[in-house]
Chains A and B, each alone.
Chain A
Amino acid sequence: MSRLTPGNKKALRGLLPIEAALILTMCVGIAVAAPNPIDLLRRSIAARGTVDYAGIRTIVLFEQGEKVQGVEQRVQCDAPDRMRITILAPPAQAGSVCIHNGSVRWDYHPQESRAIRTPTASQQQIVAERLEELAQLGKNVRGQHIGTEKIAGRDAHIVKIYTRDGVPLKKSWIDTENYFVLKTQRFDSSGRVRSSSYFTKIDFNPQFAAGLFDFSPPSDCTTVEGSRPSQRMPLNRAEQQAGFHAAIPSYMPPGFAFQRNRVAVIDVEGQRALWLPFSNGADTFSLFQRRGDGPSEPAMHGRSLIWHAGPYRFTLLGPLSEAEMRRIAGSVRP
């Protein structure tokens, strides 16, 4: 092995500052070229409470790689707390509106002559909660800044989020100027695109007509009153209130975790029910457990699965495939 001579050492001393400067320049260069993906997500959550906009958005859903539903919406938002979504297509749903104004949400379906009024948390509360959850989620997911692309004529950062095991969860296109989310894709557990939502037109200096975010149900319309937001608590406290133990599924799709400290006790059909939430940060599913009957074999009803085991009735609800839902149900042992 060669040893450093005094001459070499002197030359090395001269080189070190140059190398250090080069490394520093490269690091700065990389930092400038590739923004931190989690930081971009943080900014995009905060932008929900500050950016006004009006735009047209398309949402397409896929199942097993096949397109099953497509919807076009007009979305108008007067930040922080007022939002109106109007369905434009398909024709059977056109005219349905969803309005969020302060702490009330209205869903109106003219075809059914029905309006639902639901008290909700304010947008500021939701943004604060999401930022807090993101800080926790950062430990369980990894993000990648892929590059930039134009969406609806705007430059957007592309950020892809994976579970620690490398399963893709979500891809977001975030406006480079104001951090508004222009497009998202969500993936199923096998990595296929499950939904795609993207703006085709967007205006960040919109003018809103007076009363756009107000809603009064028509006189011939049935009005349904939704429940107030539930109080969330740790599992053991919720079990005490409900009077029975929760049956937690032993199987969960990749990346999902039981939200042990966000359990709620709600009233369903006069029975106390445990509401057990599960999340991977992007998608959620809920398992409701109460005393009661139901089908002995799990049966699908829309996007929910209902079954009965022991003295309990279970309802599993979420944007999962039927196969995944049945697998979760099969792992519940009361």
Chain B
Amino acid sequence: MTCEKVQSELVTCWGSTEQLSVTVAEHLDGCETCRAEALMLQRTRLLLTSLPEEEAPDGFTASVLERLEQEGPARSWLESIGNLVIPVRQPQWARVATVGLVLALAVAGGAMWMGQSNQLPDEAQLATTVPVPSQTLMENAELEELLRRHQTFEVTQPLADDMGVGLVMYTSY
């Protein structure tokens, strides 16, 4: 796989290496350039998601609508908003492009923010993914006992994680 294809996949997931295809993950292991690209995207995402939410000042919406009416129907709404933030002496394409960029960043930032807030799913989400157990109380007690025994063996394995990770692996019991 080429660096170009890998970087294209990285862009779609903003540098997160958790959900990459195996081929891309393997490529990243051996490619310093693509790892640097992933890191840069992760930092950009962090920057976007850490921006505080800003409230629009009182009367902002009304003033925008009023200005739009004054500009008349001949101009596109994108161009009209551009006039609010970019001086009229600047070329039209610059005003439109600037607004487009700001909107794209806002949408991307919002999407990433939503993505991050979904990282720790709530109970309702988990309920749909974890099968509901139907065992009797006795079976529950037996399974719990066997699980504790299993975990004591698990932590002795050379590549095992510590007991905190094991706690999460078996939370659905």
Contacts and interface: CB of A to CB of B under 8 A. Distances in A.
- Among A172, A286, A302, the most chain B Cβ lie within 10 Å of the Cβ of A302
Contacts of B164: 57, 59, 73, 75, 85, 98
Interface of B is mostly: helix
Contacts of A161: 159
Interface stretch (B61-69, B77-85, B88-96, B128-136): B128-136
Interface of A is mostly: strand
Contact of A193 (B18, B130, B150): B18
Interface in B19-40: 19, 22, 25, 29-30, 32, 35, 39
Interface in A132-177: 133-134, 137, 144, 146-147, 149, 158, 160-161, 169-170, 172
B156 A169 contact: no
Interface in A62-96: 62-63, 65-73, 75, 83, 85, 87, 89-93
Interface residues of B, number: 52
A85 B129 contact: no
Contact of A227 (B148, B163, B170): B148
A288 interface: yes
A300 interface: yes
Given A62-B18, A72-B120, A105 B163 contact: yes
Interface of B: 18-19, 22, 25, 29-30, 32, 35, 39, 119-123, 126, 129-131, 133-135, 138-139, 142-143, 145-150, 152-165, 167-173
7 contacts: A71-B171, A75-B164, A169-B159, A230-B152, A266-B149, A284-B157, A302-B170
B171 A93 contact: yes
Given A69-B126, A196-B18, A61 B168 contact: yes
